[in-house]
Amino acid sequence: MSEQYDVIVIGAGPAGYAAAIRSAQQGLSTACIDKSLGKDGKPVLGGTCLNWGCIPSKALLDASHKYYDAKHGGFAAVGIKVGAVEIDVPAMISRKDQVVSGLTSGISGLFKGNGVTPLPGRGKLLKDRKVEYTAHDGSVKILAAEHVILAPGSVPVQIPPAPLTEGYIVDSTGALEFQSVPPRLGVIGAGVIGLELGSVWSRLGSQVIVLEALAEFLPMADERVSRDAEKILKKQGLDIRLGCLVTGAKVVNGAVEVTFKNAESEQTVTVDKLIVAVGRRPLTQNLLSADSGVNLDERGFLFVNDVCETDAPHVYAIGDVVRGPMLAHKGTEEGVMVAERIGGHKPMVNYNCIPSVIYTHPEIAWVGKTEQDVKAGGDAYNVGQFPFAASGRALAANDTEGFVKVIADAATDRILGIHVLGPQASEIVAQAVIAMEFDASAEDLGLTMFAHPTLSESLHEAALSVAGHAIHMVNRKKQ
C-alpha cells in the first residue's frame, strides 16, 4: 500500500517550501521532495534562490559595493579616510556560503517546526496523484496524495556556441564561485543576471564586456529607466555591447576566445572567463509520466489556469515552471495561494502587481505598466517624476543618481505603473506595490504623509508631480 499524504510538494525552492509550510500550517499532512545537494554533497533546501541565485548573488553584490565605495572615493567624499583597500575573494565567497548555509538550515527548522516531512531525492508525478519518490541512495517508493503541487524550478539556459567548460566558461552558478578576480571577464546576456554578476566582478577590478543579442537595453523596463541605467552602468565601467550575437566560444591557451556578429561584421574578443547568462528554462525533465494528465504549453512550461491548477485534477504547478516572470516572490505567493485553496480558502495572486528588481547600483525596480505599454494601449495618461538629486536624504548619503516615475490614468488618476532607478529602489518599490494593490490614485499617494528626510519622499514627490504639485522641485507646466 502506498504511503499517503494530504499534500505532496515536488521542489523546495521559494515556491515549493512556502506551499509545503502553509499546507502543514492548516493541519494537512505534507511531504516535500527535493533533489538538491549542497557543496558538501548533503541534501539542502531552498532551491536555486537560496543556494545559487538570489541570496548568494546579493551577498556578493553588497560586499563588492562596499569594497568599491572604499577604494574609489565613496568613503573619501563623506570624510572617511582609509589606507590601502584589498579584496580577499576566498573570504568573500566563504561568507557568501555562510549566509546561504544559515538560511537553508532555517528552512529545515521551519519544516520541522511546522510538521513538514522532507524527502531528499527526486519526485515524479504518475497517474492519479501517485508520486514515484527516488531517494539519493537509489531506493524507490510510491507515494499517494490527495493533492500534488509541482514546484521543480528552473535551470540556466545553455547555448551551443558557448558550451560550459570548467574553469573558463560558466553559468550563473559557476560565476558565484570564482576564487580570484578575472582580469578580463565576458558576459553573454545583458539581462538581470548578466548585469548583476557583471557588476560584482567589475567592482572588484575585472574589465567586463557584456554581449547582448538584442538591440535594445532592458526592453522590459521603462524606456527612460533603461536609457539612464545604461548610461550609468557604462560610466561605472561595464562595456555593454548591444546587437551582438555570440557565434562561438572556445578555450585557447588558457583564455576564452569569443566570436560574435554585430551589424557591421564578425568580431573576436579574448577574456579570461566567460559567464553565460541568457536566461533560465523550466526544469521538467523526468518530472511527469506520460499518463500523469499534466500538459505543457507551447513554450515548454506546465500549463495552468489563473489559480495554478493543471489539467490533472488536484494537481497544481507553481513558480518558475509556469507562465509569468521567474521571480522567487511570485513563486512564493503562488505557493501560499495554492496551499490555502487546498485548505478551502479562495485567495488569488494579483499578477498585475508583481514587482521586478535588478540589484545593480543604483538599483532598478518597477511594478505595473511602463510608459511604452500605456502609450501602446492608446489611453491618455499623466506622468510625474522626481530626481534623487533633489532628495535631501540621497544628498546626505552621497547617492543621488536616478529618479522615481509615477504613471497615472488621465481620466481616473489611478496608478498604472511606478518605476524607480536609484538607491534602495528595491525597498521603495514595495510602497508602490502596496499602493497599487489597493487601487490607489496618484492623489492618494500625494495625500499620504512620508517621513522626512527619507528616500521614500521621492515617491511622494513623484506622485505629487503627476498633477504638477511637487513641492521640492519646479513642476513642468502642463500642456
| Contact between residue 289 and residue 127 where contact means Cβ atoms under 8 Å apart | yes
Please identify which of the residues 452, 460, 469, 472 carries the catalytic annotation: 452
Strands (E), 294-402: 315-317, 356-358, 363-368, 381-387
Is 452 tagged catalytic? yes
Joined grid coordinates for residue 271:
577574456
Neighbours of 410 (CB within 10 A): 12
CA gap 74, 107 in Å, rounded? 37
What element of type H or E holds 140? strand 140-150
Residue whose C-alpha cell is 517550501: 17
Please, what is the Cα angle at 218 between 214 and 219, to 5 degrees?
Answer: 75
CA gap 398, 418 in Å, rounded? 24
Could you give the 3-state DSSP secondary structure of residue 413? coil
CA gap 254, 273 in Å, rounded? 9
Reported for 259-262, long-range contacts at CB under 8 A and 24+ positions apart, including other chains, are 260/211
| Angle separating helix axes 89-114 and 14-25, nearest 10 degrees | 30
Strands 255-261 and 266-271 come out as: antiparallel
As annotated, the active-site residues are 452
